[in-house]
Amino acid sequence: MAETFTFGGSLAPISCHAWNKDRSLIALSPNNNEIHIYKRVNNDWRITDVLNQHDLRVMGLDWAENTNRIVSCAADRNAYVWQQTEDGKWKPTLVLLRINRAATCVKWSPAENKFAVGSGARLISVCYFESENDWWVSKHIKKPIRSTITSIDWHPNNILLAAGSTDYKVRIFSAYIKDIEDQPSPTPWGSRMPLGNLMAEFKNSISGGGWINCVRFSSDGNKLCWVSHDSSISVADATNSNVIVRCKSEYLPFLTCEWISPTSIVVAGHSCVPLVYMWKSDKLSLIRKLDRSQRKESGGISAMRIFQSLDRNLRSENSDTLVDSIHQNAITCIRLYEGDKYNGTQISTSGIDGQLVIWKIDMNINDAFQVLAM
């Protein structure tokens, strides 16, 4: 079951989206320098504000549920923290990132007292509020990063930070800020945690593989999942000597992923369909496609073969340009809509087709699904 929405009657690509705590408001960027805030009224969405402080395309958004603050970053090398005023408008505060390339991704920490910004400057800015000067400042994590940071995610302990990059590697760093935090406790990833300390590093595959598109910690923080541009999904387990379980799929590359239970992961990307994988200690298996509208694939016609056919025959009929799925182009963002990483019951996806889709996930997803042939 899925709910599908478009905003403002436009099919402009949605580069990223984020929800407030009760899911009554959504912030999204229509692939430009603006952030649109929509409020849900019955089964429709009404725009309440347009945030246009950025000069170039917004690359990342995150909404702190408890403090009700939005953080955004963009290709203009800036980040802003947006605070809602009494009249309902959003006031921006510039963050001193100190970077010379585009900011590519941003994420609040679980305690919402800091956030991290990845960038093309081959570094991560860990930002926190300095009350003495009443501004947001940043400290940098640089070594051994040698390429653009494409995705980041926080460990539940509010200290460790995972980062994926275009050098085909996934790294876990300590993002401990001693000015605002107590001394952290040891974790299965390690116990030495000064700011910037490299806790773990994983190469996507022995032969190199593809650049990393998304990284996500599990609900307990002991496992790390990532998807890359070689159409693979991988999980590293800190409680099992950092052993990596990898599955190379036959689908087009995945762009985003999210845990919905301790053993289940939703992935999506250029194939336009969210897929649910189950992780076990030695295996990753596809157990379900959330989009049941795909009929052609069961007959042996994959999305790649459809595009190859279009290229060969230069067809222009509508039947050839429509993808047999709800999303009509790549899915670029997955968010938990209901539940959490331990028990996610609904997710939302947005993509290049300008659609937002809310998917309901069966509660017994780990119980009795037959593994699908890939």
CATH number of 33's domain: 2.130.10.10
Q: Closest by alpha carbon to 52, among 68, 76, 21, 69?
A: 76
Across 171-190, average pLDDT = 95
pLDDT at 88: 87
**Is 6 a domain residue?**
yes
Average pLDDT, the chain: 89
**Is 367 a domain residue?**
no
**Is 118 a domain residue?**
yes
Round the CA-based radius of gyration of the chain to a whole number and report it. 20
Tell the burial category of 257 from Cβ atoms under 10 Å away from its Cβ (0-12, 13-18, 19+): buried
Q: Count how many domains the chain has.
A: 1
Domain containing residue 116: 2-360
Given pLDDT bands bounded at 50, 70 and 90, which one contains residue 303? low
pLDDT at 219: 96
pLDDT at 25 over 70: yes
**Is 368 a domain residue?**
no
Distance CA 265, CA 286 (A): 10
pLDDT at 161 over 50: yes
**Is 336 a domain residue?**
yes
Distance CA 215, CA 116 (A): 14
**Is 365 a domain residue?**
no
pLDDT at 187 over 90: yes
Distance CA 248, CA 364 (A): 26
**Is 371 a domain residue?**
no
pLDDT in tens, 241-263: 999 999 999 999 999 999 999 99
